[in-house]
Amino acid sequence: MINFKEQIGALLAEQIEGLTAEELTAMVEVPTDSKLGDYAFPCFRLAKVMRKSPAVIAKDIAEKISENEMFERVESVNAYVNMFMGREVFMREVLAEVASMKDRYGSSDVGQNRKVIVEYSSPNIAKPFHIGHIRSTVIGNAIYKLYDFLGFDTVRINHLGDYGTQFGKMIVAYRHWGNKEDVVKSPMEALRGYYVKFHEEAEKDPSLEEEARATFTRLENGAEEETALWEWFRDESLREFGKVYKMLGIEFDSYAGESFYSDKMGRVLSELKDKNLLVESEGAQIVDLSEYNMSPALVTKKDGSTLYITRDIAAAIYRKEHYDFYKNLYIVASQQNLHFQQWIQVVELMGYEWARSCIHIPFGLVSLDDGTMSTRHGRVVFLEDVLNKAIERTREIILEKKVNTEDVDVTAKQVGIGAVIFNELSNGRIKDYVFSWDKILNFDGETGPYVQYTYARAASVLRNAGEDEESILSKGQSADLQYICNDSAYELARLIYEFPDRVYEAAEKYEPSIVTRQIVDIAQSFNRFYHNEHILVENEDEKKAKLLLTYAAKQTIKNGLLLLGIEVPERM
């Protein structure tokens, strides 16, 4: 598709000396008020060079470029050149691009097949998959989809929390108070109960903490009984997690968790020692990071056991050597900011020039109305329960409103789960928020169901035209686009045109909400167009043009929803 900003920059370069087309393109703005044009060029920077006032320069430039067929009109207002695009030319370019690209509209090959690793979700084994995990899971999945859409070779890693002292606690709790039958019957409920029980009892008997540490040390050393219990807890947990991933339509290329790197940490410790980075502190081994205004990075504890930092360093080195990544992205809560700053700094001190290609993408926390969630104290909201409740509530609404759908259950799942995901991705990822059933299940306003309904409405218009989409696109090639040059149609086309830029921006900023916002705007604009314009009119030329725009809106909404991990119902 033509990049109109670049076209304008090239045109201005013919009139302005001393600045390149690229520099001039960067100066072109998009006014917030469409009454000031589709594009504007400020002339303040040219005043010193040309020795004229910015207003005079703007007037001269406007006169020189006004005859270009790209523009409907060009005006100078004070120091600005305001450019109004020729609507028919603009429409033809945008609609032809969507018709040509279809499901790939908005994609590009900017990634050049470079490897990008996206680590996300990463729940802890033997702990419940609760609402707090949804943030990493759906934000990470959207970021993976964005990078894949832009031509990167993406690898999805679920870095399971399947190692650490908590497994010593779980094994101790199982031995003291557990039984096999309960775990087989309801794995996550039983294991969660053991974890809560351990902390209740440890408050009364602190020796349990030492017993747990000793148990984990035996696990680290490969003790047969501890290893067998750990593998059992891991397998049962993965089966339960799989139910939620299936509901969300999420898959991974690797489930290599912390335990995968247990035999790779010796190399890290040796390397840290050989490079004189380790310092002993009260029996523990640390890396001093005071020079970088950070607290020490604790690498091993007094008893020699490793920590998260050791495993994350080992994982990063393995991934670089195994995948040779361009970027290694970690979608992990903002609580871990210092942890990531520390270990990435340590990797850099180890002499690995790719350290800064490891990028922590933080997000805000989810809390309950009465405070933060705590697995330790049994205060959690299960993610599977949230998804099931959203589906059931959607099913009730569909039946109550007699929604026209071919399969109530399928549509309820698409819309219910879509509502939950959209709610997560509708605001900036860094914001904290309080979990609310009312908000999750509110389908009014700028929500996932609203956007899905708009998609279904556009699909219905196309079906009612009595032709398949290929026929509509074929006829649209010769459509007279003067019929869709009015304000509501042009506003919709502008938003569709911006979609590829918003996709790229969302990937660059690791911010899926940019795509969410864009498809909400497109949905609202299409609904204005739908209400302002009768689409299925008698005039065939007019109908062809309006159907082509309807198709473009539908396709762009679909592409945006799929990038967010949300399915699109054809009927609602």
Query: What DSSP string runs through 456-524?
Result: HHHHHHHHHTTS-HHHHHHHHTT--GGGG-SHHHHHHHHHHHHHHHHHHHHHHTT-THHHHHHHHHHHH
Domain 115-263+308-372 is found in CATH 3.40.50.620: yes
The reply to whether 127 belongs to the active site is: yes
* pLDDT at residue 378 greater than cutoff 80: no
pLDDT tens column, 513-552 = 999 999 999 999 999 999 999 999 999 999 999 999 999 9
* pLDDT at residue 166 greater than cutoff 90: no
Q: Which of 59, 127, 554, 558 is labelled catalytic?
A: 127
Residue where the block lists tokens 């805000």: 364
Token pair of 14, please? 């013919």
Do 552 and 468 meet the contact criterion of CB atoms below 8 Å apart? no
**CATH top-level class for 383-428+436-563?**
mainly alpha
**Can you give the pLDDT at residue 512?**
98
Q: Which of 130, 544, 546, 558 is labelled catalytic?
A: 130
Indicate the range of 122-126, 377-381, 500-504 predicted with least confidence.
377-381
Mean pLDDT, to the nearest integer, of 350-367? 94
**Can you give the pLDDT at residue 368?**
66
* pLDDT at residue 370 greater than cutoff 60: no
In three-state form (DSSP H/G/I as H, E/B as E, the rest C), the secondary structure along 418-440 is HHHHHHHHCCCCCCCEECCHHHH
Indicate the range of 82-96, 190-204, 244-258, 286-300 predicted with least confidence.
190-204
| Residue 424 banded pLDDT, cuts 50, 70, 90 | very high
- Tell me the β-bridge partners of 279: 286
The reply to whether 48 belongs to the active site is: no
Element (H, E) at 556: helix 540-563
pLDDT tens column, 106-145 = 999 999 999 999 999 999 888 778 888 899 999 999 999 9
Mean pLDDT, to the nearest integer, of 72-88? 96
| 3-class secondary structure, 187 | helix
Looking at residue 448, its amino acid is G
**Can you give the pLDDT at residue 414?**
96
Q: Output 228 or 373, whichever has higher pLDDT.
A: 228
CA–CA separation, 178 and 180 (whole Å): 7
- DSSP secondary structure letters along 229-249: HHHHHHHHHHHHHHHHHHHHT
**Can you give the pLDDT at residue 371?**
54
CA–CA separation, 358 and 336 (whole Å): 14
| Residue 264 banded pLDDT, cuts 50, 70, 90 | very high
**Can you give the pLDDT at residue 307?**
82
* pLDDT at residue 427 greater than cutoff 90: no
**Can you give the pLDDT at residue 369?**
64
Mean pLDDT, to the nearest integer, of 468-491? 93
State which fold the 4-85 domain adopts.
Gyrase A; domain 2 (3.30.1360)
- Tell me the β-bridge partners of 116: 154, 327
The reply to whether 130 belongs to the active site is: yes
Looking at residue 50, its amino acid is M
**Can you give the pLDDT at residue 129?**
84
> b/e per residue, 536-562, with b = 16+ CB within 10 A?
eeeeeebbbbbbbbbbbbbbbbbbbbe
**Can you give the pLDDT at residue 220?**
81
Q: Which of 64, 115, 133, 531 is labelled catalytic?
A: 133
* pLDDT at residue 201 greater than cutoff 70: yes
pLDDT tens column, 322-346 = 999 999 999 999 999 999 999 999 9
| Residue 379 banded pLDDT, cuts 50, 70, 90 | low
* pLDDT at residue 401 greater than cutoff 90: no
Domain ranges of the chain: 4-85, 115-263+308-372, 383-428+436-563
Report the share of the chain in percent with pLDDT over 90: 78
DSSP state of 536: S
* pLDDT at residue 36 greater than cutoff 60: yes
Q: What is the pTM of this model?
A: 0.91
Which residues 6+ apart lie within 8 Å of 496 measured at CB? 94, 98, 522, 552, 553, 556
**Can you give the pLDDT at residue 463?**
95
What does each C-alpha distance from 53 to 82, 181, 182, 444, 484 come to in angstroms? Answer: 17, 85, 82, 51, 39
Mean pLDDT, to the nearest integer, of 206-212? 93
